[in-house]
Chain A
Amino acid sequence: MAAAASPSSMESAPRIMRLVAECSRSRARAGELRLPHGPVATPVFMPVGTQATMKGITAEQLDALGCRICLGNTYHLGLRPGPELIQKAHGLHGFMNWPHNLLTDSGGFQMVSLVSLSEVTEEGVRFRSPYDGEETLLSPERSVEIQNALGSDIIMQLDDVVSSTVTGPRVEEAMFRSIRWLDRCIAAHRRPDQQNLFAIIQGGLDAHLRATCLEAWLAKWCHVRTRDPRQQTPGHREAEQMTKRDVPGFAIGGLSGGESKNQFWRMVALSTARLPRDKPRYLMGVGYATDLVVCVALGCDMFDCVFPTRTARFGSALVPTGNLQLKKKQYEKDFRPIDPECACPTCQTHSRAFLHVLLHSDNTAALHHLTVHNIAYQLQLMSAVRASIVEKRFPDFVRHFMGTMYGDPTLCPTWATEALASVGITLA
């Protein structure tokens, strides 16, 4: 049921991003998203609440931490409890009683990563439900239909997801298909006034090709309309075609898989260089502190990752110097809080020693304490990043951050040093 690009795709999408400040050195920006369930300051980290719950912490606790946008997963919710029930419950907001913003992904990533027997065709992704064995087709139309029922403030197009370690013609095929699927998503979207549909830029990982074409890419940008599209490299064509379809925001997908960090940052930088300045850039699946800081410098505004909440449930607490594996014996008599500078409820009340004891018991409260702290850590980090951009001291912030995390500028990972250098931030 592939639909050609309808007139609606040519209409101007709402401008949901307001830029508040830009770093004069790097590409870092501070801004504000205007979303149906309230404003969101950027750069922003969005915790992942997969199945309509933030893993053991209540909506009130999440609100108290200052979270104003989090994620739900279309794949999981589409199966259990299903879009019809959620619609009856007044959408995902009503179902989980979350008053702020929600972003749902399309289900594409889970389709490919979680389901061993899935088949991708032009129609969509055909798969077997792990719960009842039933065969289903997740098409661009079906994905948007489910997300319309969920009622999330930002919805994602269904993209043809290919692992970042795959090379060859499959990458190019996935790229062009994603463009066609975006058009179908735009056409199928029934609630453009209440839900913002983001496009996802794919485009492979051929670093050599990218490096060689980068300059040519920049040169072609102005003359893009006069050139025969077939002569341009896939990456160029893809980004350029995406931006013709007016969507309120863009995601950079296909990264944060098995690729090297070296390739990773270059693809991010390449993408942010091409994407419009006045629209949000959402880098999917990124959540390690260092990655967040570097990718803000590269010009990204929004991030999501299961890492902080997942690692919490394994007893790992995030701190400016890395992480504390609180189950370890070394914390048995450590009566300090996880982080004396942290304002979260866990650090205000509990010591590492008590959390150590609790983590070795079967009381789930231990996991919740760490989930609260780790989300607080991520949100406090982004707040600090934002403040530094607004106060025109972002490069200093980055240096201080890296110094704390790695002890010495020379110990900062090479890829990060290079990525920062590429946008004018030196660490030494």
Chain B
Amino acid sequence: MKLSLTKVVNGCRLGKIKNLGKTGDRTMDVPGCLLYTKTGSAPHLTPHTLHNIHKVPAMAQLTLSSLAEHHEVLAEYKEGVGKFIGMPESLLYCSLHDPVSPCPAGYVTNKALQRSTIIGVIEGGDVMEERLRSARETAKRPVGGFLLDGFQGDPMTLETRLHLLSSVTAELPEDKPRLICSVSRPDEVLECIERGVDLFESFFPYQVTERGCALTFSFDYQPNPEETLLQQNGTQEEIKYVHQTKKIKTTGCNQEMTSFEINLKEKKYQGDFEPLVRGCSCYCCQNHTRAYIHHLLVTNELLAGVLLMMHNFEHYFGFFHSIREALKNDRLAQLKELIRRQAS
């Protein structure tokens, strides 16, 4: 595994991780994200519906917590976890925890796996000294990359943590990828990229799905003027609603709704025959309407989760694609401003 940077602009790194996979010929773009899975499968999705999604990341994230109890079965299977879960061609990253139902930070340990690259974990809480020590010591080890742990939390302490993050990545070698866990929101993703982070988990679209919402934020940093007007009008209206209906409780994901999404359960979508996002190329937007998704949610039908997951993943992966394009074209500032405007 080898990280090859093509560009570094204001601390933001653009490049490719090369020599991945069994035959060493696979690559992964950075900044990028990993495909979030639950028990070895994208949530709600079979290979058929997963393949409907464009730009699925080359690497999927498995969580050890969901597979550990089946280690005997995997051992007897002998053909590897990738084939067992039905993703024989995918690159795989195994994290200890599921970011959606995590343990307290600091309990992450290295797990030795044969023929796998080991990622070193940077700990240290909110204490600068400890963070620097962790970073320097881990950097001395022969690890393939770094996992930045414990930087998630509430928005109040964000600035402190971002400062810590900058200091940490400054201690790390440039030619090894930096992955951060438990950070997945679009605005926070950009903040972390500016502080030298390369890879993210994609559990945010899953959380959005579980609360019956669809990602609608724009990442089109160079739209035509008419589109801008339409989107701005839409965004403003949606932000108004968000302030009125902030907390949505769903099983397992007691997260607040963000201003990056719309809540399809709202009555106003009952007769809305537009797609979730106009111009979106995902299976859901190409084939279905907001009214239909609303109906599926109101009637508690399983298809709601399937269609929303397809849209939310595609939208999110599209966002990462736009980050890479923006970096390539020196437009990250515009993208950042666009996202900032849409953050609540």
Contact = CB atoms under 8 A, between A and B. Distances in A.
Nearest to B88: A349
Given A361-B39, A369-B46, A89 B86 contact: no
Contacts of B296: 51, 53
A367 B43 CA distance: 12
A320 B32 CA distance: 46
Contact of A357 (B70, B273, B287): B70
B44 A368 contact: yes
A363 B270 contact: no
B301 A53 contact: yes
A197 interface: no
In this complex, the interface size class of chain A, counting residues with CB under 8 Å from chain B, is: 35 or more
Given A58-B283, A368-B44, A333 B302 contact: no
B47 A349 contact: yes
A366 B44 CA distance: 8
A134 interface: no
B91 to A, nearest CB: 18
A365 B298 contact: no
Contacts of A51: 295-296, 299, 301
B48 interface: yes
Nearest to A350: B86
Given A85-B271, A333-B76, A354-B85, A97 B302 contact: no
B288 interface: yes
Interface residues of B, number: 41
A13 interface: no
A367 B302 contact: yes
A64 interface: yes
A37 interface: no
Contacts, number: 121
B153 interface: no
Interface string A347-375: 00111011001100111111111001000
A365 B41 CA distance: 7
A349 B47 CA distance: 8
A61 B47 CA distance: 11
Interface string B64-105: 001000100100110000001110000000000000000000
A157 interface: no
A52 B296 CA distance: 8
A55 B77 contact: no
Interface in A15-70: 51-61, 64
A85 B301 contact: no
A112 interface: no
A364 B287 CA distance: 22
B305 A364 contact: yes
B46 A372 contact: yes
B49 interface: yes
A345 interface: yes
B295 A358 contact: no
B283 A365 contact: no
B279 interface: no
A357 B74 CA distance: 11
A365 B307 contact: no
A345 B46 CA distance: 9
B302 A353 contact: no
B56 to A, nearest CB: 15
A171 to B, nearest CB: 34
Nearest to A351: B84
A351 B52 CA distance: 22
A358 B302 contact: no
A89 B289 contact: yes
B45 interface: yes
A80 B298 contact: yes
B291 A89 contact: yes
Contacts of B291: 81, 85, 89, 95
Nearest to B310: A58
A280 B44 CA distance: 38
Nearest to B287: A97
B43 A363 contact: yes
Nearest to A56: B302
A196 interface: no
Contacts of A221: none
Contact of B44 (A55, A89, A335, A365): A365
8 contacts: A51-B299, A58-B303, A61-B48, A89-B289, A354-B40, A358-B39, A363-B44, A372-B46
Given A58-B49, A58-B303, A372-B48, 16 more contacts: A55-B303, A56-B302, A60-B52, A61-B49, A64-B48, A80-B295, A81-B295, A85-B271, A88-B271, A96-B292, A351-B84, A357-B70, A361-B66, A363-B38, A365-B41, A369-B46
Closest 6 CB pairs of A and B: A56-B302, A361-B39, A53-B303, A363-B38, A365-B41, A349-B86
